[in-house]
Structure 1
Amino acid sequence: MIFQIGATFLPALGIGEEIGSRSDATRTLVTPAGWAFAIWGPLFAGTVAFAIYQALPAQRRDDLLNSIAWPAAGAFLGNGLWAIYTQLYALSAISVLIIVFTLICLLTVYRRLVAFRRDFVTAERWLVVLPLSALTAWLTAATIVNISASLKFYGVGSGQANIVLATGVVLVGGVIASLAIGRGRGNPIYAAVFLWALTAIYASGGQVAPAIAYATIVSGVLVIVTTLFKLRDVGNRRHWLG
């Protein structure tokens, strides 16, 4: 956890370039508006709260924490490695591999939260389920954005082809998120964070290309409908909301 946060401060030490500068250098139509990245503040705060909670002596034999400890650690490691690589180099194919690894770790955590059999206690809802579900959703969107930026880094797609590619990426992202929500029993936290990302893409690329705007709307509707459909089930609502 300390590693993933500390890794973002290399430019302050005169090492590498800020992640924002790297992102601007390979900005695409699916890069969210700048304000969207403020979500990293709550995400980092959530992971700090999770780390403190799971480190308490009383939690050493907690069945939930024991089931997600290693994939969560892998996700935090991946976030740190991605930040270091991106600041030192660029949003290249290597950055895609790192972020995909991170997403796989988080999806493993997500699946175990979905499948967990007993009811979450209040502390678990706020300090485990909330931060890790939110981080999973944001990394889902970030992986899609990173792939798009990497393609631009290698000169793939330009002009109309760029619009078509970006539109397809947004739609595929919406389908992936909807599948994650559907299989995730309508996780409302995941849905809300992914909708945040879609809104930021609409506010950026959607103002440049109408096709991107329509793709974000379609994806958003798909996410909302899937979430509401799954939350009709009392068991699913109880699982996530108590």
Structure 2
Amino acid sequence: MNKSRHVLYLSILNLLGFLATVVVNALASILPINGITTGELSDLYPNLFVPAGLTFAIWGLIYVLLGIFVIYPLIPSVRRDAQKIDFVRRIGPLFFISCLANIGWIFAWHYQIVPLSLVLMLVLLGSLLAIYLRLNTGKSNATRAEKYLVHLPFSVYLGWITIATIANATALLVDIDWMRWGLTQQFWAVAVIIVGIAIALSVLFTRKDIFYCLVVDWALLGILLKRLSDTTMADQNIVIATIVGLVIATGGVIAQLIRKKAY
């Protein structure tokens, strides 16, 4: 099989995987799968890391960006330029694997098989991280088109799934009634917020990836709004930690923009 045909097949596979993912995620809310929506399931595992419901609107942006990513290499004028679509070869089947993991997660989550849902979330996270590294986001000399039509979608997607993985792990701990080693729920919530901020800043300053960091900002804002609105689980330390995190992460993004270091 010649290289151009191989890339075309991968592009079609990516498109099919994307469409299947969108359909399954839509059905999860429309039907819903197993008679309960994704959001209602989150409420079954109450914890201090869950963001406000409006935060999940970011999935709309993620799917729009991924839609652009899968369509871009199928545009005839782009497909004829081997250099422009080389990213498809570099990514290989990883995006399709991420789609399968996403679909699998929906079913595992809706049927409340929480341990399996975390395993599938880790597969999704791992495949997206591998794509991110193969694209060498923030360090490559990619064209402007590739940066914004290919790298950007995965910066946003990976940023959100990083936070979602932490939330999924937290849900599992709630599900198994973890005793938290005698420490308070508030302590662990602040701890995971600090971990999320540290990861975001690491990506920001090593990859110059403001988009990844902005997604973490969005998640932190959602956590803050949830804590401020949920008086039964409100906690001053979590509110303070979230606000400090927002200030630090946003400050880092602004600093990168001022220094013109953003990719």
Using structure 1 for the length normalisation, give the TM-score: 0.85
**Residue 32 of structure 1: how far off its partner (Å):** 0.5
The match for 1:129 is 151
Contact 1:182 1:227 in 2 (8 A): no
Contact 1:26 1:149 in 2 (8 A): yes
**Residue 11 of structure 1: how far off its partner (Å):** 5.8
**Residue 229 of structure 1: how far off its partner (Å):** 4.9
Distance, in Å, in 1 between the alignment partners of 2:79 and 2:227 is 45
Q: Which amino acid aligns with 1:193?
A: V
**Residue 177 of structure 1: how far off its partner (Å):** 1.9
The match for 1:94 is 116
The match for 1:202 is 224
The match for 2:198 is 175
The match for 2:79 is 59
Residue 48 of structure 2 corresponds to residue 29 of structure 1: yes
Residue 174 of structure 2 corresponds to residue 152 of structure 1: yes
Residue 59 of structure 2 corresponds to residue 40 of structure 1: yes
Q: Which amino acid aligns with 1:173?
A: G
**Residue 226 of structure 1: how far off its partner (Å):** 3.9
Q: 1:206 to 1:109 in 2, by over 3 A?
A: farther
The match for 1:5 is 22
Q: Which has more radius of gyration? A: 2
**Residue 35 of structure 1: how far off its partner (Å):** 0.5
Distance, in Å, in 2 between the alignment partners of 1:6 and 1:149 is 25
**Residue 224 of structure 1: how far off its partner (Å):** 3.1
The match for 1:118 is 141
The match for 1:79 is 102
Q: Which amino acid aligns with 1:203?
A: L
Structure 2 unaligned regions, length at least 5: 1-17
Q: CA-atom RMSD, angstroms?
A: 2.4
Bigger shift: 105-114 or 167-176? Answer: 105-114
Contact 2:28 2:38 in 1 (8 A): no
Instruction: Report Cα offsets for 1:22-70 as digits up to 9, x if no partner.
Output: 1111121110000001111111122122111133453373222321243
Return the structure number with greater relative CO, CA threshold 8 A, min gap 6.
1
Identity of aligned residues (%): 27
SS in 1 for 2:141: coil
2:245 to 201, 205, 219: 219
The match for 1:163 is 186
Q: Give every structure 1 segment of 4 or more consecutive aligned residues whose post-TM-superposition deviation is greater than 4 Å.
A: 157-160, 228-234
SS in 2 for 1:28: coil
The match for 2:11 is none
Structure 1 unaligned regions, length at least 5: none
Distance, in Å, in 2 between the alignment partners of 1:167 and 1:125 is 34
Using structure 2 for the length normalisation, give the TM-score: 0.79
Q: 1:14 to 1:182 in 2, by over 3 A?
A: closer
Number of equivalenced pairs: 234
